[in-house]
Structures are given as C-alpha cells and as structure tokens.
A and B are shown apart, each in its own frame.
Chain A
C-alpha cells in the first residue's frame, strides 16, 4: 500500500509561516488533499487537488506538490490554526491512505 510520511510536529510563532510536508513515492504524480482537525472535532478539508481551497478556507492556506513531497503552507499563522493536519491521497479503488498527521503548535 502507498505510504505517506509527515513530521510529527511543527512549531511556529504567530504571524510567521508554517510549512507541513507530506512525503510519498512520486507523490507529485498524485492529487494530495489536506485536512485540519482540532481536538474533539471531525476533520475539515483545507486544501484539495494539491492547491485548491474550499470555500470558507482563508487564503493564508496554500498547497504545492512536486517530486516526492507535497507541502501545506500556512501564512501569517494565528493561534486558531493550532491543530493536527493530515495529508491524504486517493491512490486507487482500494487504497486511500492518510499521512500520520502533524501537530502544529503556535508558540
């Protein structure tokens, strides 16, 4: 099965830029989706198809995907962005893995 690798944690000061990576074999050839999950809540889609933002998601959230790494970038980080973030691909009819998740801490 296809494996997605994320760093367990990322820390950033308010107002700075956070970058969360998602590694996978030739992930640049796949579509990557990103979710934000706060404690006790269901995940929320923040980026789909590598870099598209759903309605209601701030422009501060952006994504890119190339080679073996996809990246979620959060600009001008706010305290409310503190959450777990997961990447996900739809690899085939029978495999739709998520990354292990990255805990974003706002210092």
Chain B
C-alpha cells in the first residue's frame, strides 16, 4: 500500500525557515517524480514544486522561486521541502504527492505550516 506521511510543519515567524519531510512507503521512490502541493486556509490547491527521480530537474511555482528548495533522498525513501524567508502568505497545509503522468493519485495527509509573529 502506497503511503506518504508528511512531517515538520509548525509555527514560524516571518522571515524564518522550516524543513518539511515526506516519508514514502509501499513503492520505490527512486522511480517516480514527486511533488509538493499546498492549500492556504479556506483556499484552493496550489502546486508548489516538482523533482525528477534522480533530483536532476526541479521546478517551482513563481511565488516560491529562490526561497524554497525541493530535494529527495531515495536511499531513505524521503522527500523534502526546505522553506526559507517565509511569508504570511506561505501559511498553508503542505501535501506531498506522487504525480502519475500529469495527475496526482497519491497524496499524504498534509502538514500545517503557520507563518505568524
């Protein structure tokens, strides 16, 4: 059974940093692209970042470019999102998701990031 379990969310001050993790199980992580998708409170879904199987290609939504870094450790079956220079508008539930040829079939349960002073 495919499982994606996010962790690392919490309360952080504006300008601060946070690192999210996603533990993958039930499949071979190194054979799949992986993604982060977020959802601000009461708002819609927003794709955040993608990373290729070997980490050689990474893509980001414009609003996080230069501040967020997606990475992976296939040996540890883990996906990460390093978030720096956090802003209030980054407050959201962050989901780890596995894209399948253009759509997201497998999702984690999400981890809440709150940026506030």
Contact = CB atoms under 8 A, between A and B. Distances in A.
Nearest to B35: A96
A42 B108 contact: yes
A45 B44 contact: no
A58 interface: no
Given A42-B107, A43-B107, A93-B57, A98 B102 contact: no
B47 A45 contact: no
Contacts of B102: 31, 33, 48-49, 89-90, 96
A97 interface: yes
B104 A43 contact: yes
Interface in B100-117: 100-105, 107-110
Given A93-B57, A93-B59, A86 B107 contact: no
Contacts, number: 61
A44 to B, nearest CB: 8
A23 interface: no
A105 B111 CA distance: 27
A44 B95 CA distance: 12
B103 A98 contact: no
Contact of A42 (B59, B60, B100, B110): B110
Contacts of B104: 33, 35, 43, 45, 88
Contacts of B71: none
Contacts of A45: 103-105
Interface string A65-96: 00000000000000000001010111001101
A97 B47 contact: yes
Contacts of B44: 84, 86, 98-101
B50 interface: yes
A100 B46 CA distance: 9
19 contacts: A31-B103, A35-B45, A42-B95, A42-B108, A43-B95, A44-B107, A45-B104, A48-B102, A48-B105, A86-B45, A88-B103, A88-B104, A94-B59, A96-B35, A96-B99, A97-B47, A98-B46, A100-B44, A101-B44
